[in-house]
Amino acid sequence: MTEMEFSPESSYAPGPSTTNLAEILERVLDKGIVIAGDIKIDLLDIELLTIRLRLFISSVETAKKAGIDWWETDPALSSRAAEHSLALENKELREKVEALERKASRASRSPRRRAEEDS
């Protein structure tokens, strides 16, 4: 399959016409009443998927970088929200434990070092 390039480095400059193309594509390609044609249309689903992935994977990544991943975590938009909030809490707890461990090891190391210096 030919690779589609929707990456930011490719020729697409952001602008009204590109935005417009995205709007057209998301309507023309997968909206409207789908009927069985004689040429296998499910083939198009593969292409569609490719395009979608290109368009949207980066959107998710950027959003995460920007700290805005609420459409993944909003219960109205995703059933993974509960799972995610648990994972988040887990991560927070792990970070806290790590910090405490670091603090504890520092505290225990320093008296020993002092003892070694004394001997």
Partner 1 sequence: MLPLDEGLWAVTQEVPAAEFTEDALRSRLADQRQLEESARTHHAVVTAASADGPVVPLPLATLFTDPHRAQAALNDQRPRFLAALDRLTGRTEWAVKVYLRQRGEGRGEAPASSTSTAEASGQAYLKRVRDRDQQCRARQDAALNAARHVHDVAAGYAVASVQRRPHGPEITGRDRTQTLNAAYLVDDAQAPRLVAAMRALGHAPSEAEVEVSGPWVPYSFAEAPDAAPGAGGIGV
In the range 77-96, which residues lie near partner 1 by CB under 8 A? 77, 92, 95-96
| Residues from 44 through 83 that contact partner 1 (CB under 8 A) | 44-47, 50-51, 55-63, 65-71, 73-74, 77
Residue with smaller CB distance to partner 1, 39 or 115:
39
Among 82, 84, 87, 106, binds partner 1 (CB under 8 A): 106
Alpha-carbon span 119 to 116, nearest angstrom: 5
CA angle in degrees (0–180, nearest 5) for 12-15-18: 55
Residue with smaller CB distance to partner 1, 20 or 90:
20
Among 49, 82, 86, 99, binds partner 1 (CB under 8 A): 99
Among 49, 87, 93, 110, binds partner 1 (CB under 8 A): 110
Among 40, 112, 113, 114, binds partner 1 (CB under 8 A): 40
Q: Is 114 in the site for partner 1 (CB under 8 A)?
A: no
Residue with smaller CB distance to partner 1, 68 or 86:
68
The full 3-state SS of the chain, as one line of letters, equals: CCCCCCCCCCCCCCCHHHHHHHHHHHHHCCCCCCCCCCCCCHHHHHHHHHHHHHHHHHHHHHHHHCCCCHHHHCCCCCCCHHHHHHHHHHHHHHHHHHHHHHHHHHHHHHHHHHHHHHC
